Structure 1
Amino acid sequence: MRWQSALAIYILFWVFSVFFVLPFGVRTAREAGKELVPGQAESAPAEFDFWRMARRTTIVATIAFAIFILNYIYGWVTTDMLDWVN
């Protein structure tokens, strides 16, 4: 696999991991003990720390990508194994 392909696949893993990591550790304003701003939804997060989310996302994406690369190298799961029709 060329390094450009591996980089593109890692970026895809990172973007997909954002959606997995985003809901964890989020506290609403009520849970954080802060007052709601007029017009703010009650379910809106009290504060958002981009760098904490980015670190968590990078960890999850790196682990998933490592499993993907190891599967690519050693062939644990192949497309023939996933063909349930034939």
Structure 2
Amino acid sequence: MAYSISTALAIYFVLWWVVLFVTLPFGVRSQHEDGEGAPGTDPGAPVMARMGWKLLWTTLISAVVFGIGMWAYHQGLLNIERLSKLMGLPF
């Protein structure tokens, strides 16, 4: 079974969002931690979120993980028979 382009894009899209939520907390300092809070804002609001860098890192990490997954799939390491056997399910 070969992946179609739309399946590969859907897998990458889901993987990208998962990695984004993993990278969001890194390097964020709240107003409370930094000591500079604007009046009327939440103390937990970030001072500088640096979303551009996070989006770049998310794209790079996702591409590497996706590439490793596709390599493993094409090598036969991620086929349905092998995965069902590892989980103890009858195939």
Q: How does 1:1-86 map to 2 (within 5 A)?
A: 1-33=3-35, 35-83=36-84, 84-85=88-89
Specify every segment of 5 or more residues in structure 1 that has no aligned partner in the other structure, as ranges: none
Q: Which has the higher contact order (CA 8 A, sep 6+)?
A: 1
CA offsets per residue over residues 23-62 of structure 1, 9 Å max, x none? Answer: 11111124445x2122322222112222111011111211
Calculate percent identity across the aligned residue pairs: 32
Specify every segment of 5 or more residues in structure 2 that has no aligned partner in the other structure, as ranges: none
Q: 1:80 to 1:39 in 2, by over 3 A?
A: farther
**TM-score normalised by structure 2 residue count:** 0.75
Q: Distance in 1 between matches of 2:50 and 2:66?
A: 24
| Number of residue pairs aligned between Structure 1 and Structure 2 | 85
Q: Distance in 2 between matches of 1:23 and 1:56?
A: 13
**TM-score normalised by structure 1 residue count:** 0.78
Shift of 1:78: 4.0
